[in-house]
Amino acid sequence: MNQNSHPFTVQPGGRLNGRLRVPGDKSISHRSIMLGSLAEGITHVTGFLEGEDCLATLKAFRAMGVGIDGPTDGRVVIHGVGLRGLKPPPGSLDMGNSGTSMRLMSGLMSGQAFDVTMTGDASLSKRPMRRVTEPLASMGARIDATDKGTPPLHVHGGQRLKGIHYDMPVASAQVKSALLLAGLYAEGETCVSEPAPTRDHTERMLSGFGYVVRRSGNCVCLDGGGRLRAADIDVPADISSAAFFMVGASIAPGSDVVLEHVGINPTRTGVIDILRLMGGDLTLMNEREVGGEPVADIRVRSAALHGIRIPEALVPLAIDEFPALFIAAACAEGETVLTGAEELRVKESDRIQVMADGLTACGIDARPTPDGIVIRGGRLGGATVGSHSDHRIAMSFAMAALRADGPIRILDTANVNPSFPGFVALATSCGLSIREGADA
């Protein structure tokens, strides 16, 4: 796709106001399809994110013989086939741009009786998979990748898996989840310990489907050979999608928004903690639990932000939200320093370098480091920035226009709608002056 294709143009200034509900949580939507398919009985899902990444997971299980009705307005009905009920797909499984699908499915497919090949788009085909395939191999899985350890992945069926105790060298929810999902099919106990907390949606949902999961400190364990029983899943709004509006409302004077029904899983709330450390005004209201996941309405009002040194303990809890947080840093008084975030270099793009390039184009002093960035707050100018087909980069720079002194034009935004359906319409409804398309 042409890097200049499908631009956004966002006019400078304005503020955000109103009550918003962003689309459903992507991580929970993926897992609802996976576990619902492998459960016994019928699972009903509401709030499902109808973006291309989650639809790639849904289509993969349909291809393996699972009856799935929908999605219709976020509602999905899954006719589970049990842990041993999947059938060989007629061809390869296309994961599109979804690293979550590829990595978690690597674990699930390792326990099947049949071979499967998983492919992805040009971006996914460059993303590293060894951190998943190597520990899976130690369980007995056989997975072929390219010489660089990237997709396509060919998973050999009929392998006898054995549980392992794995100490993750780098905190990663996707690696942890892949090993636990393989552990469903393994002999004995599979345990994963993590150096820092990561999102625990897999463990919570396994428990919700009746599977015994044991947690002790930084370690989570399960035994193979159990059963999953159908459950109803109400997917909360995605905090990663809400993060753009949290930052936008924080930086634009006169803003006051309420983000409704947002998942506030404690392994995901780093963005709230970091914005508060920077002086942000965020209030959690109507806290409740829905389907095993904590949920709240989040009120965000504009505030004078100041730069901070971001605590490394918060990095895994905000790993997907850093592009938006970099915009907050650019609008803050003083210097913000991020370290311990080398994982950002192997996301949909090198998010450290791409954000630094874009901020520099806007006149901000942004210096990338091997594992982070140093951003000195300043005056944002209008600019044309490249998103490198990364949806989070594009949406972050859209919010930057609220504090810019000229229009911000963002190139190659076609991946925004698959990730966040209706972003432009929702942003427009609360006050952002954004247009999309070649004539924008």
In order, the DSSP letters of 238-288 are: PHHHHHHHHHHHHHSTT-EEEEEEEE--TTTTHHHHHHHHTT-EEEEEEEE
Q: Collapse the DSSP code of 144 into the 3-class scheme (helix H, G, I; strand E, B; otherwise coil) and give the result.
A: strand
Nearest to 324 by CA among 346, 344, 303: 344
CATH superfamily of 8-24+236-436: Enolpyruvate transferase domain (3.65.10.10)
Read off the tokens for 118: 């998983």
Nearest to 263 by CA among 17, 24, 15, 8: 24
Please tell me the predicted confidence (pLDDT) of residue 5: 67
**216 backbone dihedrals φ, ψ, rounded to 5°:** -145, 105
Q: Which residues contact 134 (CB under 8 A, 6 or more apart)?
A: none
Please tell me the predicted confidence (pLDDT) of residue 3: 46
Q: What angle do CA 347, 333, 346 make, to 5 degrees?
A: 5
Task: State the virtual CA torsion across 203, 287, 51, 408 in degrees, nearest 10.
Answer: -130
Q: Which of 25, 297, 320, 390 is catalytic?
A: 320
Please name the amino acid found at residue 165: H
Report residues of the chain scoring pLDDT below 50: 1-3
Contact in structure between 246 and 320 (CB atoms under 8 Å): no
Q: Collapse the DSSP code of 35 into the 3-class scheme (helix H, G, I; strand E, B; otherwise coil) and give the result.
A: helix
**Whole-Å CA distances, 123 to 25, 177, 240, 255:** 22, 22, 20, 36
Domain 26-234 fold? UDP-n-acetylglucosamine1-carboxyvinyl-transferase; Chain (3.65.10)
Read off the tokens for 376: 């000195």
Q: What angle do CA 134, 135, 140 make, to 5 degrees?
A: 90
pLDDT digits (tens, 9 = 90+) for 346-369: 888 899 999 999 999 999 999 999
CA–CA gap between residue 226 and residue 309 (Å, rounded):
45
Q: Which residues contact 81 (CB under 8 A, 6 or more apart)?
A: 37, 38, 65, 66
Q: Which residues contact 393 (CB under 8 A, 6 or more apart)?
A: 323, 349, 351, 354, 355, 358, 385, 387, 410
Bridge partners (DSSP) listed for residue 72: 75
* 320 in active site: yes
- The domain locations on the chain are 8-24+236-436, 26-234
**Fold match flag (8-24+236-436 vs 26-234):** yes
pLDDT digits (tens, 9 = 90+) for 101-151: 999 999 999 999 999 999 999 989 999 999 999 999 999 999 999 999 999
Strands 293-301 and 281-290: what pairing? antiparallel
